[in-house]
Structure 1
C-alpha cells in the first residue's frame, strides 16, 4: 500500500490550523518541547500532561506551607477538598455545590460509597456490575459482597463494547440494592447511557454508583439532571492532577442526611477538633471525608478545571470526537489487519479508542522507546487516548505512523 506521507502531514496541519482549541496546547509542559523525547503522547486517558500553571500552583502551595505552617489549615486547607469538589462539580459534573469532595483514591472512595449506599437498601441482596468493568471496581465489589453476604449479578459484555440499556434492564430486579458501572468503559471507550440506566435502576428501587474515571473532563456529564445517586472518579487523566492525585466523590443532596460511610475518620466528624467520644458524621458532603486531605496532591488539578471552564466542556467533547474519529480513519488507512475494538459511532464512544492486534504487546515497548506513548491492555489491545486540550492532530498522525512502521506496514 502506497501512502503519500506529505499529503497526510498537510491534512493534519490543516486540521490543527482550524482547531479552535489549538492555543491550549502551549499551556502544557512538553507538548511542543523540541527537547522532549516524547513525539506522540496518546495516553492522556491514563495520565494527563501537567499544565505549566500546575507547576506554579504546587510551588505556591509549598511557599504557603513554608510561610504559614500549621496556620494554613485554618486559612484554606481544611476547606480545600470541598472547594475543589464544588469546582469539579460545577465545571465537569453538572452538580450543584455541596455534593462533591476530593480525597482518597478511587478505590477507597468506591468502597466508601458502595458500603454507604448498600446500607440504604436493607433487605436487598444483589449488586449489579459488569464483567469488563475496571478491575478495581470488580475487586472492591467482590470484597463488599463477601463482607455483607450479598450476591453479585454480572452483566456479561463484549470487551469491544459495553453495558447497553437492554442488558442493564434485564439484570436489575427488585433484589438489586446497588448498580455499579463505568460511564466510559476503560478498555473499549464505550459510552454508557447513564441517564437511562439510572432511570431503570430507580424504577426497580435500586441505587446507582457511576465510575466516571474515563469520562470526567472529556465527556459532558449531568449528574444532577440525570438523578444520579453516587459517583466517583479520578483526577489524573483528563483533569491533569498528576500521578496519585486524589479522586472525587459525589453524593446527591437528597441522600446526604442519611448516608453513612464506613471509614469513620476524625476529619469527617461533625466537630473534628472537639476530639470527643463517639463518631457523629459531619453535615453535608464533609461526612465522606475520613483522614487528613492530601493538600499538595490536589492543587495541580485546579488549573485544568479552569481551562475546561474557559474552553467549555462542549468544545472539549467536540475536539475529542474529532481526534478519535481521526485515529479511526488513520487506522483504516495505515493499519490494515488491525481491528478497531471500540464503538465507531461517536454517540457511543468516549475519549479513547482501542486497537486489537496480536503483536501489540511487543510493539508497545518499541513504541515507548521511540517516544510514542500509547498503552497496552491485555490480551492484545493498544489504547489511544488523546487529550483534547493538549493533543494535536499532527501528534496523532505521528503516533499512528509509528505503529504502522512497527507492524511492518
Structure 2
C-alpha cells in the first residue's frame, strides 16, 4: 500500500479526531497489546482533581459529596453500554482474576450436581489457574477442570459440565470466538457460560444481553484505557442474580454496610459482588477514560480495527523479507480481534528492536511478537510506519544484536 493510500485512509477515518484526546509521546508508535492502553487526557485531569480537591480538600466527606461510594456502580453502568448490557448487571471492582473466582463459584452453586469446568487448553493462564484454585479449594468431587483444544469444545460438552469458561479473543493468536453461537450450544446442554472479555471490550461490538450470556469479566486497563492496574468488571445476567451468595462476602456487598451488623446479609443484585473498599484513584481514572467512548458507534470502532489489522497483515504476507514470520492471527477479519500475532524464531529480539525503534509492541512466549491496534488513537500512518520498521529490522537482522537478548521481567 502506497503512502497516498495510507494518507487517504487517515483522511477518511471518522475516528481520527479521537487521537487528540490521548497523551501520546512524540517519537513512539504505541501498538502494545499487553496490559496498558494509552493515557486519555481526561483521565489525567480527573486524577489530579481527585487528588488535589476531593482527597486534599474535601477529605472523608468525598465518599458522599463526590459520590465515591457509588463509583463501582457508575463505572459499571458506563461499561454496560459498551458490552450490550441493560442496567443493573455490570459492576466495576477488583481484578479479572478475583472476579473470575467469584463467578466460577457462583456458577457451581447454580449448577448443583454438575462439577466440571470446561475450557480450552490455550486459554489465558489466569483463567486456568483460577479454575485449578477453585478445584483445590472445593475438592475434585465438587469441581474439576477439563481442558480441550478449541475445535473440540462442542464435543466436550456433556451433562457433567457446569460451566464453560472461554476468552473471546485468544491472547496469543488473536482468534475470535463466536459468543452467540457457542453460548447457544452450551445452553442446549444445560451449561452456563462465563466469557473473559479482556481482549475484546472496547474494540469488538458486544451484545451480552441479546446473546443471553450468563456471566462475563473484563479488565479496565487494556482497550478501555483506564490506567495501570485499573479495576476490572463483572457482568451477571439479571436472571442469575440473588439466587446464591458470592464467596467473597465483603462489607460493601452487604445490604446495609454502614449498619455494621455482625452477620452477613447480601445486597440485592450485582452490588453483592462488591467486596472491600474500592480504590478510588483507579476507579476515577477509568471513569474519565470511559467518557472517550461516549456517543461512539462500536461498529465504526470495529471497522477501523479490522481495516488496520488487514493493512498490517497484507504488508507482512506480501513482503519476502517477512519469510520467517508466520501470521498466527486469522486472515478473515470476522475471526480476529484487534491484534496481529507474528511467530518468529527470534521473536523476543524482534520485539525489543521494534521498541528501541519507537514501535511499542509486546512479546508472548515462546515465539510471538504481538501488535495491538487501538482504533481510538492509532492511525493508518502508525500501521505503515510500524510495518516499515519491522521490515528494516528483519532485513538487517538487527534482532540478533546482543543487547536484545536480555529478558526483562515483564514482557
TM-score by length of 2: 0.92
Report the equivalent of 1:221.
Answer: 206
Query: Aligned match of 1:79 in 70, 73, 92?
Result: 70
> 1:84 offset after TM fit, Å?
1.0
1:233 equivalenced with 2:218 (yes/no): yes
Query: Aligned match of 1:103 in 93, 99, 106?
Result: 93
What are the residue-to-residue correspondences of 1:348-367 with 2, within 5 Å?
A: 348-367=335-354
Q: Is the CA contact (8 Å cut-off) linking 2:169 and 2:176 kept in structure 1?
A: yes
Query: Aligned match of 2:109 in 104, 119, 134?
Result: 119
Report the equivalent of 2:280.
Answer: 295
Q: Is the CA contact (8 Å cut-off) linking 1:42 and 1:384 kept in structure 2?
A: yes
Report the equivalent of 1:285.
Answer: 270
Q: Can you give the 5+ residue segments of structure 1 that lack an aligned partner in the other structure?
A: 1-6, 157-162
> 1:310 offset after TM fit, Å?
2.1
Q: What number of residue pairs does the alignment pair up?
A: 389
Please give the alpha-carbon distance, in whole angstroms, between the structure 1 residues aligned to 2:107 and 2:50: 35
Report the equivalent of 2:402.
Answer: none
Q: Is the CA contact (8 Å cut-off) linking 1:115 and 1:262 kept in structure 2?
A: yes
> 1:365 offset after TM fit, Å?
1.4
Report the equivalent of 2:37.
Answer: 48
Please give the alpha-carbon distance, in whole angstroms, between the structure 2 residues aligned to 1:387 and 1:195: 24
> 1:307 offset after TM fit, Å?
2.4
Considering only aligned residues, what root-mean-square deviation do their CA atoms show, in Å?
Answer: 1.4
Report the equivalent of 2:406.
Answer: none
Please give the alpha-carbon distance, in whole angstroms, between the structure 2 residues aligned to 1:358 and 1:97: 48
Q: Deviations over 1:144-201 (max 9, x none)?
A: 1222222211122xxxxxx35xx32211111001110001111111110111111111
> 1:247 offset after TM fit, Å?
0.2
Report the equivalent of 2:308.
Answer: 323
Query: Aligned match of 2:332 in 307, 330, 345?
Result: 345
Query: Aligned match of 1:405 in 377, 385, 392?
Result: 392
Runs of 4+ in 1 over 6 A off after TM superposition: none
Report the equivalent of 1:11.
Answer: 5
Please give the alpha-carbon distance, in whole angstroms, between the structure 2 residues aligned to 1:360 and 1:405: 15
Please give the alpha-carbon distance, in whole angstroms, between the structure 2 residues aligned to 1:323 and 1:309: 22
> 1:11 offset after TM fit, Å?
2.4
Q: Is the CA contact (8 Å cut-off) linking 1:367 and 1:403 kept in structure 2?
A: yes
Please state whether the residue corresponding to 1:58 is helix, strand or coil. helix
Query: Aligned match of 1:390 in 369, 377, 401?
Result: 377
Query: Aligned match of 1:69 in 37, 52, 59?
Result: 59
> 1:367 offset after TM fit, Å?
1.7
Q: Is the CA contact (8 Å cut-off) linking 2:165 and 2:196 kept in structure 1?
A: yes
Report the equivalent of 1:60.
Answer: 49
Please give the alpha-carbon distance, in whole angstroms, between the structure 2 residues aligned to 1:301 and 1:339: 36
Please give the alpha-carbon distance, in whole angstroms, between the structure 2 residues aligned to 1:67 and 1:186: 43
Q: Is the CA contact (8 Å cut-off) linking 1:45 and 1:238 kept in structure 2?
A: no
What are the residue-to-residue correspondences of 1:70-219 with 2, within 5 Å?
A: 70-75=60-65, 76-90=67-81, 92-148=82-138, 149=140, 150-156=143-149, 163-164=150-151, 167-219=152-204
Please state whether the residue corresponding to 1:71 is helix, strand or coil. helix
Q: Can you give the 5+ residue segments of structure 2 that lack an aligned partner in the other structure?
A: 397-411
Query: Aligned match of 2:363 in 358, 376, 381?
Result: 376
More displaced, 93-102 or 56-65?
Answer: 56-65
Please state whether the residue corresponding to 1:407 is helix, strand or coil. helix
> 1:46 offset after TM fit, Å?
3.0
Q: Is the CA contact (8 Å cut-off) linking 1:45 and 1:352 kept in structure 2?
A: no
Q: Is the CA contact (8 Å cut-off) linking 1:218 and 1:316 kept in structure 2?
A: yes
> 1:54 offset after TM fit, Å?
1.0
Please give the alpha-carbon distance, in whole angstroms, between the structure 1 residues aligned to 2:70 and 2:114: 36
TM-score by length of 1: 0.92
> 1:45 offset after TM fit, Å?
5.2
Q: Is the CA contact (8 Å cut-off) linking 1:359 and 1:407 kept in structure 2?
A: no
Please give the alpha-carbon distance, in whole angstroms, between the structure 1 residues aligned to 2:48 and 2:177: 39
> 1:311 offset after TM fit, Å?
2.3
